[in-house]
Structure 1
């Protein structure tokens, strides 16, 4: 009788999740230069698509950069994927497990799309035998499969942005941080991107920073509205819309709710 073949399963595959929230912050304070741009933020974010909404200068990018471990907090507490973003936290382990698209991301223009996403997969320590498949899935999900072997310098701004999204998801992140991801995308591309967000949000914590209210209304299950470095509202898009009235500024209920909470400031 043939013996059963038993595969050795890495401990990481069977270990229980050690955190209740992908993002947990209490009294978080973060500087942008000399200015405290995030001032006393409390957050609990789990799986789903969370819209980080607010006017320019509200502190959205600073908060995203802190969650991506680019900026260190100067006060309060913050944990990402169960790891504190302080001296005792394992930042390398966090960075392997998250995806991040900055508002302005650097890339080598001579790289092809495939080479760029492969390089980012290598930086994120994706196992070598899995890289080719992971890269192909990522470029297909952003609609660049037919341009995968074109150099980045030959692509439009919207296509380069989609290549940036591909590198952010190539490692199947547990936390995906996207700063103004729809910048440069045409209306059709934005619709397809929203569909991708819905797909990713089923088992991933996705945080989308934007000042475009319509993107939040269409793509997000949860809204975090920030102003002057503080959270002024957290709830569903419908709850945000309910904050507004007919006399508030805006062309839609959610825009009027946004305007009401910010005192008409845009």
Structure 2
């Protein structure tokens, strides 16, 4: 079973006079770590929000963990983990309390929550900050708390929107190790602007532009799409540039 199955998916934003941020996208993703790449405005965040059941499809079909997106989503949401690009929190919450609260919202059995929270904080290296207030944390630490709440329920489908923003190089390396572990049992989709993170952490790359699927394949396949004449400091960056330039109606920046 594919964790994500989208067929001719359209998601309109901005009401009737808005635009199709996701435009006829067809995609199937199963277990593993998948990188979602694309320029600003490509539709990545809208797609992630739709997969997280925050936003509803306009047309087409979407199935999540075997359940149609138009069906009963509550059971699906218990099996999801989601880190938005920007997330809010009560500043006076302790780190532990915040992750516990999100575990409760995910309807985890109360008896399992304390242990699950401890393990999630340990996995992101924040065990020693569990009793600190959220307002006292650095930006990178807040991001790591966000990752902890996303994985606290051991999700079968994990959606991460720009998860490495604010992380230092050592933390990004640990993050790559963590998602590799998670991808052995779950479908992990990481939306990012950092091509090098995708090359290092992901077994599969999904490239979107102007709301449509441009490429899906391995990082090695993406690296072969470019030539020395394309912009980029590495083969995978040049492959990314080549595919985006070919698809973009406005030309490469």
Please tell me the TM-score bracket, short chain as reference: over 0.9
Task: Provide the secondary structure at the position in 2 that maps to 1:172.
Answer: coil
1:27 paired residue number:
8
1:159 paired residue number:
141
Question: 1-side partners of 2:68 and 2:26: how far apart?
Answer: 15
- Deviation >3 Å, runs of 4+: none
- 1:218 corresponds, among 200, 204, 219, to 200
2:45 paired residue number:
61
Q: TM-score, normalised by structure 1?
A: 0.91
Task: Provide the secondary structure at the position in 2 that maps to 1:58.
Answer: coil
Question: 1-side partners of 2:137 and 2:106: how far apart?
Answer: 24
Question: 2-side partners of 1:200 and 1:148: how far apart?
Answer: 22
State the Cα deviation string for residues 180-200 of structure 1 (Å, max 9, x = none).
000111111111101101000
- 1:125 corresponds, among 102, 107, 111, to 107
1:183 equivalent in alignment to 2:188? no
State the Cα deviation string for residues 181-240 of structure 1 (Å, max 9, x = none).
001111111111011010000010000001111110010000000000000000000000
1:14 paired residue number:
none
What pairs with 1:200-219 in structure 2 (closer than 5 Å)?
Answer: 200-219=182-201
- 2:66 corresponds, among 82, 95, 99, to 82
Question: 2-side partners of 1:32 and 1:108: how far apart?
Answer: 28
Question: 2-side partners of 1:211 and 1:42: how far apart?
Answer: 21
Question: 1-side partners of 2:177 and 2:130: how far apart?
Answer: 21
Q: TM-score, normalised by structure 2?
A: 0.95
Q: CA deviation at 1:262?
A: 1.0
Task: Provide the secondary structure at the position in 2 that maps to 1:31.
Answer: strand
Question: 2-side partners of 1:177 and 1:66: how far apart?
Answer: 10
Question: 1-side partners of 2:210 and 2:252: how far apart?
Answer: 11
1:265 paired residue number:
252
What is the alpha-carbon root mean square deviation over aligned residues? 0.8
Question: 2-side partners of 1:91 and 1:106: how far apart?
Answer: 23
2:248 paired residue number:
none
Q: CA deviation at 1:73?
A: 0.5
Greater Cα radius of gyration, structure 1 or 2: 1
Question: 2-side partners of 1:26 and 1:256: how far apart?
Answer: 29
Unaligned runs of 5+ in 1: 1-19
Question: 2-side partners of 1:54 and 1:159: how far apart?
Answer: 26
